[in-house]
């Protein structure tokens, strides 16, 4: 079983992660998800897979804004259940707990598939890409957005604790393209999301500041040491982004 993605798990206690990241678990939030779906030309009645669906935000977006029928899969049974509970109109949307390296679905099921801040977390990324190719129909489309590392990072940003920022196992843009090509995809477009990344980190900074203020006056039962270390990791992350060593990228591809 693959480990939970940053979108479905965290080394911090869930209360801290949820407070800091809120509902936007990746740069650009729902707007970036909609843009990726548009790049893929998602259409009405098409079958889409949302791999690493978390609490189902993108799955619902695909159904509500694009008219797709959607299956969301997450490594966490708790997330899959929560996604279903949050989905008021479940017509055309279903959620499963499953392994992204061994997708529990039949071959050539989907017209399209999306992974947001998920591919970076897999230990066996080629296996995950090959599974996506297996479950996609001929000429099926794939949309991936993820953290990309283009230089040497401080050791702390390569530790398991940075899974909350999807950094620990991230590849370079070229590395992701090679994984997808080995998995049977032809890359269609690559778009770096520099401003969205800085905006996202700015929001994380504001949430950490607010959490420290509330915890300091006893309004939140959070550990100040955890919050201080989160702020330290965030500062390292911002520096890496500003130096061009770390970023976020959207990639679309088609099954060969």
Q: Say yes or no to pLDDT of 216 above 80.
A: no
pLDDT confidence band for 141 (50 / 70 / 90): very high
Closest-CA residue to 161 (of 99, 247, 228): 228
Mean pLDDT across the stretch 184-205?
92
Query: Tell me: the pLDDT tens digits for 24-59?
Result: 567 888 999 999 999 999 999 999 999 999 999 999
Class of CATH domain 14-255: alpha beta
Mean pLDDT computed over 1-6: 39
* Residue boundaries of the structural domains of the chain: 14-255
Q: By percentage, how much of the chain surpasses pLDDT 70?
A: 87
């Amino acid at each position: 079983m693959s480990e939970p993605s940053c979108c479905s798990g965290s080394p911090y206690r869930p209360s801290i992660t949820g407070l800091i990241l809120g509902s936007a678990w990746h740069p650009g939030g729902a707007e970036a998800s909609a843009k990726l779906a548009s790049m893929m030309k998602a259409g009405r009645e098409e079958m889409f897979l949302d791999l690493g669906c978390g609490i189902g935000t993108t799955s619902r977006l695909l159904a509500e804004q694009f008219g797709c029928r959607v299956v969301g899969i997450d490594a966490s049974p708790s997330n899959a259940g929560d996604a279903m509970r949050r989905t008021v109109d479940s017509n055309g949307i279903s959620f499963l707990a499953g392994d992204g390296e061994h997708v529990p679905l039949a071959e050539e099921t989907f017209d399209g598939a999306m992974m947001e801040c998920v591919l970076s977390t897999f230990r066996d990324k080629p296996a995950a890409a090959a599974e996506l190719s297996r479950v996609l129909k001929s000429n099926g489309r794939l949309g991936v957005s993820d953290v990309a590392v283009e230089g040497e990072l401080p050791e702390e940003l390569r530790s398991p604790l940075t899974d909350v920022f999807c950094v620990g196992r991230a590849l370079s843009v070229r590395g992701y393209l090679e994984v997808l090509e080995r998995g049977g995809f032809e890359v269609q477009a690559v778009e770096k999301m520099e401003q969205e990344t800085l905006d996202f980190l700015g929001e994380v900074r504001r949430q950490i500041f607010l959490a420290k203020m509330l915890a300091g006056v006893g309004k939140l039962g959070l550990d100040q040491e955890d919050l201080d270390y989160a702020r330290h990791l965030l500062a390292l992350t911002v520096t890496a982004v500003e130096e061009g060593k770390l970023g976020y990228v959207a990639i679309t591809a088609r099954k060969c």
